Amino acid sequence: MDCLVIKGGTPLKGEVRISGAKNAALPLMAATLLTKEECVLRNLPNLSDVRFMAQILESLGAEVQMNRGTLRVRAKKIEGYGDYDLIRKMRGSICILGPLMSRLNKAKVSMPGGCVIGARPIDLHLKGMRDLGATIRVEAGYVHAKAATLTGGETFLGGRCGPTVLGTANVMMAAALAKGTTVIHSAACEPEIADLAAFLNAMGAKISGAGSPTVTIHGVRRLRGADHRVIPDRIETATYALAGAVTGGGVTLRNCNPAHLSAVLDKMGEAGVRFDTGRTTLRVRPAKQLRSVDITTMPHAGFPTDVQAQMMVLMLKSPGISIITERIFESRFMHVNELARMGADISIEGPSAIVKGGHPLSGADVMASDLRASAALILAGMAAKGTTRVNRVYHIDRGYENIDGKLRALGADISREPGQ
């Protein structure tokens, strides 16, 4: 297994181009199953999760061609049963449930398990399908769903920790070809949902309100092929903005959408980081004096859970005490023990991490546990004195396109080596 070796202490400087959003790409790719006609998706990031999803589409019978960030899919004839070992490997693959139900009125998908960041239930996805008239049974690790006809209805997708992103995507896709009108209450408001609705509408769907808590879908008889450009990755943008900030450098991010990052930019500003925003650019300048701020993760437009770990590194550089509260996933603090190896002073109290910042970090051998934790460890390595070795780097390749290449272009001393 490869690892990343980072020699810290260099302020990042220069420009980086932000890739298309992984979390928009996965549901968009699933949506191509909704039509027999060819769909084209552009600006797809070159990531292992995206390649996995392409294999899943193929295993369902679709013809798939991927060429330099452009994916062409023709799902002329598909089956409701794919390669289940493949589907089980990636939680994001649950978003094939909605399109399969919509197109075939039946689906069998493996039940995703929990993961290192906490329980990952799909009760709300299943509730939404039932509210459209599906019969669902979970047996031997699989969800079996079927319906004589899917029929529009009212559904409420708010859970204990707020709305569900992929659950909203699934119900929107199932409702697109259902009979009648569906109203999703407490829908997820993430930009990835609005992007999915834009693609579905280009395919001929009738969806309004996406990006707000109430989404209305008037079912149509058929959908056609469409050509769509994936939105920029807001989590990758935030990660590079924070990489600039924690190294005291100045970076310019191109091909991004700062409007999708208002909560992160607000907190970075409160912490003393200076930045300028354009429509598709974000320029981060070194802070004169960093300050600690408190953070609570929330559904969009609140502070994203996917940036919590990276923001913690900025708080380690900021003198004072910061309370970081995780409200979306129950155990998304796996990075804390690894950061402690680098000298971080953090204690966990229930859903909160109490970060005592302003102490120097020193390089260490650390282990990545999930995608965003890996990103945080890389940031910490660049902000630390000495050499950091981040092991199990395959997590990072699931969600960050060419992260070592992009950071090297910004002046970081980072290299990929085969692990022990």
Residues at the contact surface with ligand EPU, assessed by CB under 6 A = 23, 26, 92, 119-125, 159-161, 164-167, 188, 305-306, 328-329, 371-372, 399
Task: Write the DSSP assignment of 117-138 as a string of letters.
Answer: TB----HHHHHHHHHTT-EEEE
The C-alpha angle with vertex 19 and arms to 14 and 22, in degrees rounded to 5, equals 140
Q: Please give the structure tokens belonging to residue 129.
A: 């399908």
Report residue 57 CA to chain centroid gap: 20
CA atoms within 13 A on the CB side of 257: 13
What is the smallest separation between the CB atom of 19 and ligand EPU, expressed in angstroms? Answer: 13
Classified as helix, coil or strand, 400 is coil
Residue among 119 and 138 whose Cβ is closer to ligand EPU? 119
Residue among 87 and 384 whose Cβ is closer to ligand EPU? 87
What is the smallest separation between the CB atom of 384 and ligand EPU, expressed in angstroms? Answer: 23
Please give the single-letter amino acid code of residue 189. Answer: C
Residue 150 · residue 178 · CB < 8 Å: yes
What is the smallest separation between the CB atom of 233 and ligand EPU, expressed in angstroms? Answer: 9
Point out the residues that are catalytic: 115
What is the smallest separation between the CB atom of 331 and ligand EPU, expressed in angstroms? Answer: 11
What is the smallest separation between the CB atom of 386 and ligand EPU, expressed in angstroms? Answer: 28
Angstrom distance (rounded) from CA 121 to CA 211: 23
Does the N-terminal peptide bond of residue 62 adopt cis geometry, omega within 30 degrees of 0?
A: no
Q: Please give the structure tokens belonging to residue 402.
A: 């060419």
Q: Please give the structure tokens belonging to residue 366.
A: 């650390």
Please give the single-letter amino acid code of residue 203. Answer: M
Residue 390 · residue 381 · CB < 8 Å: yes
Residue among 318 and 333 whose Cβ is closer to ligand EPU? 333
Task: Write the DSSP assignment of 278-290 as a string of letters.
Answer: -SS-EEEE--SS-
Report residue 156 CA to chain centroid gap: 23
Q: Which H or E element spans position 184?
A: strand 181-185
Residue among 124 and 245 whose Cβ is closer to ligand EPU? 124
Residue among 230 and 290 whose Cβ is closer to ligand EPU? 230
Residue among 110 and 292 whose Cβ is closer to ligand EPU? 110
What is the smallest separation between the CB atom of 150 and ligand EPU, expressed in angstroms? Answer: 19
Give me the torsion for CA of 228, 241, 13, 315, rounded to 10°: -160
